[in-house]
Amino acid sequence: MDLRKISDNVWEIPKQGEMKVPAVIYSSARLLDDIRRDMTLTQARNVACLPGIERMSYVMPDAHQGYGFPIGGVAAFDLDSGIISPGGVGYDINCGVRLLKTDYTETDVAGKRKELLAEIFKEVPAGVGKGGVTKLSRGVLKEILVKGAEWAVENGYGRKEDLERTEEYGRMKDAAADAVSDRAMERGIPQLGTLGSGNHFLEIQKVHEIYDEVAARAFGIRAAGQVLVMIHCGSRGFGHQVATDYIEVMENAFGVQGLPDRELVHAPFKSPQGQQYYRSMCAAVNYAFANRQMIAHWVRDVFARILGTSKGMDQVYDVCHNVAKVETHEAGGRSRRLVVHRKGATRSFGPGRPEIPECYRSVGQPVIIPGSMGTASFILAGTQEAEGLSFSSTAHGAGRVMSRHEAVRRFRGERIRDDLARKGIELKSTNWKGVAEEAAEAYKDVDEVVRVSHAVGLGRLVAKVVPIGVMKG
Amino acid sequence: MERYKILPHTADGKFQAYGTTLEEAFGNAALATASLMWDWTKVEPRLRHFVHFRGFDREQLLVKFLGETIYLFETKQFLLGKVDGLRIRPEFEGFSLEALLGGDTLADRYPIYGVVKAVTYHDLKIEECGGFTVQVVVDM
């Protein structure tokens, strides 16, 4: 494909053929080698052809091939002439990451690490086919879909302060439970409050290095060795069913003729189908916020029980990786409301944005970028430049480079556990095959992903954290 | 003839399923989907679910039919072990499918080693050449 180098970390697919705008790829030459190997660039070009797209079709440094849109793809559409697409959000709606800080240091937990992990493993349901601990009624689920993390806090899961440290304050207000199918409700009921499987994990981590003292302090991160907890999961079967349902609804309403890929099916944002998908998607976002809120509560309980208190365990932030939101951005020389799709991308609002809580408004929002299982993760801060570069978005993780199939052929879960143990990382899992699938070698180098993000200005490096205990679903 | 083949795919699960008829290929595709989660050959068919779907084309029909394996597993803990009486009929607008799914309830004797979360249209192919081949990518 015709790819033009703009600078060391910026590449462009010029506007051609059906493209309404160019595509821009934020990547180093090294990461681009991986990106070129699959369909990422073709998918970014397909996105650039969609009706009402504004500015550019953007590709983040960790991008890889997805369904329809690439994972690591960002695109914004005009509210009147533009579209909304389930393929631009992904199946795991509001797959995301929550980070809790603690007042404990590595030394404080040294002798209790195994116990902490074992107890968290008992408290947080995880793994394949595992139901949640709460038997929900349909009525309660509907309330959760509307209220998100607020419902969880009202029902004793966590603290009120957690809400302001959650994207959207833990609740997307446009959610409507009546736009959600029975099948989605049925899949959602048994899975609330579960971690799930696949690439989802829960880690006890320690701060390895701080790059930006001022932002780190604002985020509650003080020094190397400080213990943190990271929770990575999403909306489980519920979100997958919402995506599946609305792909069918949009196919039936608008047909599939002329689509280069059926996963790119879309509806005008203001059409009934577009609005129903948007409201159901918001419900799935809320489901995932409630899910992470409950899991965070159980983690705090375990820390309190084993170490005496969970007092200092404030939430740093909770970010969405797969979402479409109506936001104000500059486009066509003026400030406008657009529907921004972030699929495998994190919002990266810089200092001053009114959407981020007061406590972070001078440094930018925390951006949490998990590495692959058992490797380093990073905390970044949102930047003002990201607005112009990517509708305020950056990377979301490491990104796969090897198939699950190949990873299982090459690696053994038990062996990975032993290797991690030698590095001082405890691992517990329900499924050793799942561990093999998530081997670090199956992923891109997350250090390079965040280096590019920082160099381009999509997100500013604040701290590097490393795991000391890993729970894998 | 082999029923299906699991293929390598970067993020998720991919397979081809075969049949002398379209019905047989669809049935084998359901077993291939199950094979990514449990060993369907070990599942005793103690329970049966009758299913019926419509699709405006064969691709949509296949996506909806395979989605049922996931739905029954997540909501009823039903493990698919057998597909009987699968029939596909042309309709006024599109196609309909009916089948009797045999299987059992999740239990310790059936280890689960993966979860398929959605059936996608990515790289989905239904091809006729002597027999039928369907190719599917699922989100895991």
**ipTM of the modeled complex:** 0.95
A251 and B56 within 8 Å at the Cβ level: the answer is yes
**Residue numbers in chain A where pLDDT is lower than 70:** 127-134
**Longest Cα separation, chain B:** 45
Residues of A recognised as catalytic: 396
B8 and A405 within 8 Å at the Cβ level: the answer is yes
User: Radius of gyration over alpha carbons of chain B, in Å?
Assistant: 14
Across chain B, mean pLDDT equals 95
Q: Chain A partners of B122 at a C-beta cutoff of 8 Å?
A: 67-68, 261, 263
Q: Which of A263, A431, A433 faces B121 most closely, judged by CB atoms?
A: A263
Instruction: Please identify which residue in the block is written with the tokens 């932030």.
Output: A317
Phi, psi angles (nearest 5°) of residue A104: -90, 155
Phi, psi angles (nearest 5°) of residue B51: -125, 150
Q: For chain B, what is the domain count?
A: 1
Domains of chain A, start order:
4-401+443-472 (3.90.1860.10)
Asked whether the CA dihedral A215, A220, A226, A232 is positive or negative, the reply is negative
Q: Pick from A98, A99, A362: which is nearest to A206 by CA? A: A99
Shortest Cα distance from A298 to chain B (angstroms)?
A: 24
Residue A132 has what pLDDT?
63
A7 CB contacts (<8 Å, ≥6 apart)?
A: none
3-state percent helix, strand, coil for chain A, nearest multiple of 5: 40, 25, 35
Q: Pick from A108, A103, A186, A179: which is nearest to A141 by CA? A: A186
Please give the structure tokens belonging to residue B69.
């394996």
**Residue numbers in chain B where pLDDT is lower than 50:** none
Give CA–CA dist A278/A89, Å, rounded. Answer: 10
B135: left (phi over 0), alpha (psi -120 to 50) or beta: beta
- DSSP of A79-107: TTT-EE-GGGT-SSTT-EEEEEEEEEEHH
Strand-pair category, A426-429 with A459-472: parallel
Shortest Cα distance from B53 to chain A (angstroms)?
A: 13
Query: Minimal Cα distance from B77: which residue of A?
Result: A129
Residue A129 has what pLDDT?
58
Please give the structure tokens belonging to residue A393.
């978005």
* Crossing angle of the two packed helices A40-47 and A29-37, in degrees rounded to 10: 80
Question: Which domain covers residue B43, as residue numbers?
Answer: 4-139
A128 and B114 within 8 Å at the Cβ level: the answer is yes
> Cα-Cα-Cα-Cα dihedral of A159, A164, A166, A169, to 10°?
110
Residue A376: how many CA atoms within 13 Å on its side-chain side? 15
Residue A164 has what pLDDT?
96
Query: Minimal Cα distance from B6: which residue of A?
Result: A405
Shortest Cα distance from A26 to chain B (angstroms)?
A: 21
Phi, psi angles (nearest 5°) of residue A189: -55, -50
Strand-pair category, A57-64 with A23-26: parallel
A248 and B60 within 8 Å at the Cβ level: the answer is yes
Give CA–CA dist B108/A190, Å, rounded. Answer: 19
**Helical (H) or strand (E) element with A63:** strand A57-64
- Opening angle at CA A154, ends A152 and A157, nearest 5: 45
Q: Pick from A148, A138, A141, A140: which is nearest to A173 by CA? A: A148
Domain containing residue B129: CATH number: 3.55.10.10
Do A123 and B109 form a contact (C-beta atoms < 8 A)? Answer: no
Give CA–CA dist A116/A322, Å, rounded. Answer: 30
Residue B117 has what pLDDT?
94
Give CA–CA dist A313/A319, Å, rounded. Answer: 17
Query: Minimal Cα distance from A86: which residue of B?
Result: B120
Instruction: Please identify which residue in the block is written with the tokens 């397909």.
Output: A46
A181 CB contacts (<8 Å, ≥6 apart)?
A: A241, A242, A245
Instruction: Please identify which residue in the block is written with the tokens 């129903």.
Output: A276
Residue B11 has what pLDDT?
61
Give CA–CA dist B99/B24, Å, rounded. Answer: 11
A146 CB contacts (<8 Å, ≥6 apart)?
A: A171, A175, A176, A177, A283, A286
- DSSP of A347-359: E-B-TT-TTS-GG
Residue A195 has what pLDDT?
87
B122 and A183 within 8 Å at the Cβ level: the answer is no
CA A300 and chain centroid, separation: 22
